Amino acid sequence: MSLDADTIAAVATANGAAGIGVLRVSGAKASAIAQTLLGRAPSPRHAHYTAFRDAAGALIDRGLLLHFPQPHSFTGEDVVELQTHGSPVVLGLLLRRVCELGARPARAGEFSERAFLNGKLDLAQAEAIADLIASQSEAAARAALRSLDGAFSQRVAELLAGLVGLRVHVEAAIDFPEEEIDFLAAPELRERLDAVSDRLSRLLAETRRGVRLTDGLHVVIVGRPNAGKSSLLNALAAQDRAIVTPIPGTTRDILRESIQVDGVVLTLADTAGLRDSADPVEREGIRRARDELERADVALLVTDAGSVADDLRLLGPAQSGQTRLIVRNKIDLAGAAPARAETSDGIVIDLSAKTGDGLDLLRGELKRLAGGGDAAAGAFSARARHVVALEKVAAHLAAAELALAEQRAGELAAEELRDAQHQLGELTGEFTSDDLLGAIFSSFCIGK
């Protein structure tokens, strides 16, 4: 059943002292290894309490042995799980023993990779395992579980079915050249195309939201020096004491904080003040702030006076796909009340970072943008590569539409639809290069 003859073993629990630890073994020799350790053949899916001994017969620890015969196991191969006290020393001795009996240490992600190769999971589901393990918030964990259950894959499969229907129609037209034009002009084809496009744009929007839930919303705080950017970051971080983890910055002058707002993760980056400057050091800081700005999901502009228009000019044109929030800070100085307004420049929130008045308005906005709260209901986790693949599907579909509408060119449209289908296959791993698989699975932890 396995594509790889090796039997692999790894400690599946986190490295460190713990009540219990789990060592996992998968492959053709797993059953024989279990039998040697237990002194008899194990019963399937039965917890055997036993003494684990080294080659010389010395006791390593006592614990549980479970045998999951193929194909009803996580990897689809024979799997054995050994539970001992959670000591890295004990688990290390047991791993050595298992390797003496014919296993080799597993590479990162190798169990999940085998589960994928044996058809137990598709690629998006395997990625969801890693995302579940790495999840930093309840919303992210729930979303990853939904993807693991196949919520995302199911949506991709529905889209695929629609695409295949389109291809069948277009390719049938090509097979009957005398009637090709009529076939391609049929309203039914138009309807099918629209339905697939609609489905695709909904999926793309939800996938983008899934990425934000999985990775956290990336918010960059920009504005003139002294507008109150750092004060605002501190005020947000202090209010959401749940987790405030400093993230090691890639650049010296950009401070990052990861905070949780009601179960969703936000990464906030405080940047050097934006202004026209001749000082080379300051210009470098501003350049980095602009780089940061290009990658952010949300640009949060902090202004301290009525200079919103001027500051917007400093910010430059809006990035596509980026949301702008404008904070008019220091309302305490003006004796003004907190407020929220929707304007053509973006959502404007009046608040005071100093007194905290109006901060809840901003938090609500950030939470909504992060896809949290009610918006997170039913959400699945996703990765940036999924968005890229779906965007390519959308481009091929648009090209197919154009070929049909403008030139009634069946061959061309069929070609684009084939490419779209291929891209969808990359999501679930149906058509995936070994390089991509290697990159995905090697980012998993050992023992997964």
Binding-site annotation: residue ranges for (6S)-5-formyl-5,6,7,8-tetrahydrofolate: 24, 81, 120, 448
Containing 49, the helix (H) or strand (E) segment is strand 48-53
Residue 404, contacted partner among ligand GDP, Zn ion, none, CB below 5-8 A by kind: none
- If one asks whether residue 352 binds ligand GDP (CB under 6 A), the answer comes out as yes
Local structure of 380: helix, strand or coil: coil
Span interacting with ligand GDP, options 12-20, 129-137, 202-210, 328-336, rule CB under 6 A = 328-336
Local structure of 393: helix, strand or coil: helix
How far is CA 291 from each of CA 68, 139, 446, rounded to the nearest angstrom?
A: 51, 29, 34
Q: How far is the C-alpha of 189 from the C-alpha of 333, rounded, in Å?
A: 62
Q: How far is the C-alpha of 132 from the C-alpha of 14, rounded, in Å?
A: 15
Q: Return the structure tokens found at 33.
A: 């290894």
Question: Is 131:375 a contact under the CB 8 Å cutoff?
Answer: no
Amino acid present at 7: T
Could you tell me the smallest distance in angstroms from the CB atom of residue 359 to ligand GDP? Answer: 10
Span interacting with ligand GDP, options 82-90, 196-204, 228-236, 307-315, rule CB under 6 A = 228-236
- If one asks whether residue 230 binds Zn ion (CB under 5 A), the answer comes out as yes
Among 7, 84, 329, 421, binds ligand GDP (CB under 6 A): 329
Rg of the chain over Cα atoms, rounded to whole angstroms, equals 28
Q: How far is the C-alpha of 102 from the C-alpha of 57, rounded, in Å?
A: 17
Could you tell me the smallest distance in angstroms from the CB atom of residue 332 to ligand GDP? Answer: 5
Annotate 215-229 with b (16+ C-beta within 10 A) or e (fewer).
bbbbbbbbbbeebbb
Closer CB to Zn ion, 62 or 275, in the complex: 275
Residue 442, contacted partner among ligand GDP, Zn ion, none, CB below 5-8 A by kind: none
Among 35, 231, 239, 432, binds ligand GDP (CB under 6 A): 231
Residue 333, contacted partner among ligand GDP, Zn ion, none, CB below 5-8 A by kind: ligand GDP
Among 354, 368, 392, 408, binds ligand GDP (CB under 6 A): 354
How distant is the alpha carbon of residue 130 from its chain centre? 9
- If one asks whether residue 333 binds ligand GDP (CB under 6 A), the answer comes out as yes
Number of residues that bind ligand GDP (CB under 6 A): 16
Residues lying near ligand GDP in the complex (CB under 6 A) are found at 223, 225-231, 273, 329-330, 332-333, 352-354
